[in-house]
Amino acid sequence: MSRSKILMTASFAALIALSARANGQTAAPAHPHVIVVKLVDKGGPMPYAFDPANAVAERGDTVRFTNTVNVMHNVRFTKEAPGSKLGATMTGPYLMTKGQTYDVLIDGRFTDGTYAFVCDPHEAIGMKGTLIIKGVSVAAGGK
């Protein structure tokens, strides 16, 4: 790509960001991340857990729940932030075997705030976690 095309592309991107800032809009992260939450067996009387139990994500990120053992797990949101509309994402599929994953894209269904989640088969023994969604403001310069 020529230098002039690169400069034009960069200028156009800057204009879009300035326009969004002037209109009070927020933007997705410049580089979305995959946040991995493992479903683990740590042994003991309350063996099953989410690792980490608390995760933070921004719009555009993907939260990947990964089963690390051959035990049935799932993810069900039990609390959502006001204004969110999770729909079918509220309850994920059962992950039956080691290596299976369930991806949740943090998109417009999620508003900023706190979301609590559990594993249905193991909720009674404390398998729960928290997801915090933080918006990214163009005015704040992103991350």
| Same domain? 21 vs 86 | no
Average pLDDT rounded to a whole number, residues 119-126: 97
Please tell me the predicted confidence (pLDDT) of residue 60: 95
Domain assignment of residue 140, yes or no: no
Please tell me the predicted confidence (pLDDT) of residue 95: 98
Residues 6+ apart with CB under 8 A from 103: 62, 63, 64, 65
Structure tokens at 58: 């921004």
What's the first-to-final CA gap in the chain, in angstroms? 28
- Percentage of the chain lying above the pLDDT 90 cut: 69
Question: Is 29's pLDDT higher than 60?
Answer: no
| Same domain? 8 vs 63 | no
| Same domain? 20 vs 88 | no
- Bridge partners of 39, per DSSP, are 50, 67
| Same domain? 7 vs 54 | no
| Same domain? 97 vs 72 | yes
133 in Cβ contact with 112 (< 8 Å): yes
Question: Is 22's pLDDT higher than 60?
Answer: no
* Structural domain boundaries enclosing 20: 1-26
CA distance 27 to 60: 9
Average pLDDT rounded to a whole number, residues 41-67: 96
Read off the DSSP letter of residue 14: H
| Same domain? 41 vs 91 | yes
pLDDT per residue as tens digits for the range 95-108? 999 999 999 999 99
Question: Is 115's pLDDT higher than 60?
Answer: yes
Please tell me the predicted confidence (pLDDT) of residue 101: 98
- Percentage of the chain lying above the pLDDT 70 cut: 73
| Same domain? 84 vs 115 | yes
Task: Quote the pTM value.
Answer: 0.74
Q: What is the CATH number of the domain that holds 116?
A: 2.60.40.420
